[in-house]
Amino acid sequence: MAYRFLRFPEGKTKAVTLSYDDGCKADLRLAETIEKYGMKCTFNINSKRLANGQDLTADDMKDLMARGHEAAVHGHDHLACGIVSAAMGINDVITCRKALETTFSKIIRGMAYPDTGITALANGTDYSTVKPYLTDLGIVYSRTLGGDNDSFELPCDWHAWMPTAHHSNPEIFAYIDKFLSADPDSGYTAKRHPLLFYMWGHSFEFDSNNNWELLDRICEKLGGNDDVWYATNIEIYEYVNAYNSLIWSADDKKVYNPTLIPVYFQLPEKAYCVLPGKTLTISF
């Protein structure tokens, strides 16, 4: 038995994803900018605000989705799950999910917590209440905040998915340099984990701070790298879920892929890909 590690599509060791909130008109400029660098974003939408049609419109978001971006739940009324009752939280999430699914004719399973999310708890609510109802409502992941870091780890708990950093973090370029220079295929064999760089924010902040050049500088470094997989949040989730769905023999010598996704992994000696519906024999 040897350690094995997930590799992203095409065997890549690194992935980058973005998450931007509140359905702002400036999302259009953000999308145009990141697309030049092959990057993708998850846009977290408040269904009430979308219905008002005063900012990002449904047609705008449909166009963004056609270009490969994701729409995710951000609460109908933008309520923080940690400080409202379960009944209020459930209503805000399911109303938003149903509205987005109807508007976009898509299955929507992603989310970013509005406001303080699960970082502040009050009124008798705690995370052990929130996670089960999100799961029951069909939300498979939800982005939290407040723990910027340079560990580049995939989440252990998808309903408390901590991003790498907000785009305005003063350490952002140091984080990017560390991410790009890391080589998960070398070094100590127990630490060859894949790396994810997850940046979040609000596109209107670039307008408010008059610093769109910051996004350009970030994208120039973080984007356009052949050894990085650029994906939306849900694409990351679905790929990792496929990896975790692989069925292994007791001796770890055979692996069956019951999913519809080619899945890549790395053993110390060799990289592998197990195709959908196929069983692979490990040669070492």
Closer residue to Zn ion in complex, CB, 22/60: 22
CB of 22 to Zn ion, least distance (A): 4
Tell me the residue number closest to Zn ion, measured at CB: 21
Closer residue to Zn ion in complex, CB, 13/203: 203
User: What is the spatial distance between Cα 157 and Cα 139, in angstroms, rounded to a whole number?
Assistant: 13
CB of 21 to Zn ion, least distance (A): 4
The residue range among 15-23, 125-133, 240-248, 273-281 that interacts with Zn ion, by the rule CB under 5 A, is: 15-23
Residue 115: closest CA among 86, 85, 152, 75: 75
Which pair of tokens denotes residue 45? 């939408």
27: contact with Zn ion by CB under 5 A: no
Of positions 5, 12, 20, 21, contacts Zn ion by CB under 5 A: 21
CB 263 within 8 A of CB 246: yes
Of positions 22, 35, 60, 70, contacts Zn ion by CB under 5 A: 22
With 0-12 / 13-18 / 19 or more C-beta atoms within 10 angstroms meaning exposed / middle / buried, residue 46 is buried
The residue range among 111-119, 160-168, 179-187, 188-196 that interacts with Zn ion, by the rule CB under 5 A, is: 111-119
User: What is the spatial distance between Cα 174 and Cα 179, in angstroms, rounded to a whole number?
Assistant: 9
Of positions 114, 117, 163, 201, contacts Zn ion by CB under 5 A: 114
Q: What angle do CA 147, 108, 91 make, to 5 degrees?
A: 80
- Contacts with Zn ion by CB under 5 A lie at 21-22, 114
